[in-house]
Amino acid sequence: MIIIQCPCCGEDRHEEELTFGGEAEIIRPLEPAAVSDQVWTDYLYFRANPKGTHHEQWCCSGGCGQWFKVARDTVTHEVLEVVKFDKGLSA
Ligand SMILES: [Zn+2]
C-alpha cells in the first residue's frame, strides 16, 4: 500500500484516496504545429518506466484536490520525496 503525505493539506493519504497522474514534468511543446511528428509522438506516448526512482504526479483527490509531485521507488514503493506541484524534485 502506498501512503503519501499531501504537501498541501498535510494529511496522510492512502492510495485509494489519491489519483495517479503518471510521470511528472512532461512538458507540452509550446507550438505543437512547429515540432516534428517524432517530438509530438514522444510527448504524447513515450514515458519513462524505470526500475527504481520515478518522478510522478499525484492528486489528493480524497482530500484537498491539489496535484503534487512524488519521487517513488518503483520496486519498493518507498516514497522518497513529496513536493508541491510548482516545486522541483531532487531525489
Ligand atoms: Zn491534500
Distance from Cα 11 to the centre of ligand 1, integer Å = 6
CATH 3.40.50.10740 is right for the domain spanning 3-84 = no
Distance from Cα 70 to the centre of ligand 1, integer Å = 13
The mean of the pLDDT values for the chain is 96
Q: How many CB atoms lie within 10 A of CB 44?
A: 11
Cell of 24: 511528472
Distance from Cα 36 to the centre of ligand 1, integer Å = 38
- Using a pLDDT cut of 90, give the percent of the chain over it: 98
pTM of the model: 0.88
Cell 480524497 appears where? 62
Q: Where are the domains of the chain?
A: 3-84
Residue range 15-58, pLDDT digits in tens: 999 999 999 999 999 999 999 999 999 999 999 999 999 999 99
